């Protein structure tokens, strides 16, 4: 199994899950925003043949190729059910887990990536710095909604560490790095989960 990724991008959540699950893998660093002639570039034809968008992550396992981070998280979790990344729980618990995953991607992460695109990812002539205040407003609304979706436990689902905790911790880490206003309890959530041995091993992989 190979995971293609770059530093603390969305690929990090997949790397973290692999470490948490104890699955053997090879990590392949990919360079973004570099020339296609570079063999390690996401724009190189060899990489584009796996991931047509030229983004990370990409997971390859035999004939299977996955390029969406949450699909990769679910796949890793199902390969290693003993990891508990997907809990052995009721349909109601799974419904809440899926709700939180969808919310994190559609609402909590969206303003962060919007800022990232207009800060560095888009071509300069396509960037709109004025949208930064809108992203800040949207993130605050999402955090308020999250307060009502989460309980007061250490973990998001079923009193155990799951893929939701990986997503939450990495998303708030992203928010802190992008200088959003993050409530202290979510800074503490990020810090607590990043102290897990699996997270530390994943951080060591990306250097």
Q: For residue 23, what pLDDT band results from cuts at 50, 70 and 90?
A: very high
In 3-state terms, what secondary structure has residue 56? coil
> What is the spatial distance between Cα 158 and Cα 206, in angstroms, rounded to a whole number?
30
Domain membership of residue 173 as a residue range: 91-202
The pLDDT of residue 117 is: 86
Element (H, E) at 64: strand 64-66
Lowest mean pLDDT among 64-68, 121-125, 138-142: 121-125
Burial class (CB in 10 A: 0-12, 13-18, 19+), 22: exposed
Strand intervals (E) in 16-153: 26-29, 58-61, 64-66
> What is the spatial distance between Cα 81 and Cα 87, in angstroms, rounded to a whole number?
8
Number of domains in the chain: 2
CA atoms within 13 A on the CB side of 150: 21
Q: Going by DSSP bridges, is the β-strand pair 58-61/64-66 parallel, antiparallel, or unpaired?
A: antiparallel
Q: Going by DSSP bridges, is the β-strand pair 26-29/64-66 parallel, antiparallel, or unpaired?
A: unpaired
Together in a domain, 95 and 19: no
Residue that is last in its domain, among 29, 64, 84: 84
Together in a domain, 167 and 198: yes
Closest CA to 164 of 149, 176, 148, 184: 149
Close Cβ partners of 94 (under 8 Å, ≥ 6 residues apart): none
CATH number at residue 170: 1.20.1050.10
Together in a domain, 104 and 197: yes
Q: Are 101 and 167 in contact (CB under 8 A)?
A: yes
Exposed e or buried b for every residue in 110-121, given b needs 16+ CB within 10 A? ebbbbbbebeee
Q: What is the mean pLDDT of residues 62-72?
A: 98
Together in a domain, 185 and 120: yes
pLDDT single digits (tens) 143-182: 999 999 998 889 999 899 999 999 999 999 999 999 999 9
Strand order in the sheet with 26-29: 26-29, 2-5, 58-61, 64-66
CATH number at residue 60: 3.40.30.10
Residue that is last in its domain, among 37, 68, 84: 84
Q: Does the pTM exceed 0.85?
A: yes
């Amino acid at each position: 199994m190979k995971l293609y990724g770059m530093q603390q991008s969305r690929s990090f959540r997949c790397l973290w899950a692999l470490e948490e699950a104890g699955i053997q893998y090879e990590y392949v660093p990919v360079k973004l925003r570099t020339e296609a002639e570079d063999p390690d570039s996401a724009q190189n034809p060899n990489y584009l043949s796996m991931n047509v968008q030229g983004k990370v992550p990409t997971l390859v396992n035999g004939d299977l190729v996955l390029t969406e981070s949450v699909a990769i998280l679910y796949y890793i979790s199902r390969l290693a059910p003993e990891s508990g990344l997907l809990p052995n729980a009721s349909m109601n618990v799974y419904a809440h887990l899926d709700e939180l995953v969808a919310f994190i991607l559609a609402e909590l992460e969206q303003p962060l990536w919007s800022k990232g695109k207009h800060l560095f990812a888009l071509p300069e002539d396509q960037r709109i710095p004025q949208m930064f205040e809108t992203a800040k407003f949207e993130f605050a609304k999402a955090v308020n909604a999250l307060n009502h979706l989460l309980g007061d436990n250490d973990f998001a689902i079923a009193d155990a560490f799951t893929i939701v905790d990986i997503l939450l911790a990495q998303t708030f880490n992203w928010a802190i790095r992008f200088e959003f206003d993050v409530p202290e309890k979510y800074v503490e959530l990020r810090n607590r989960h990043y102290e897990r041995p699996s997270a530390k091993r994943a951080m060591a992989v990306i250097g």
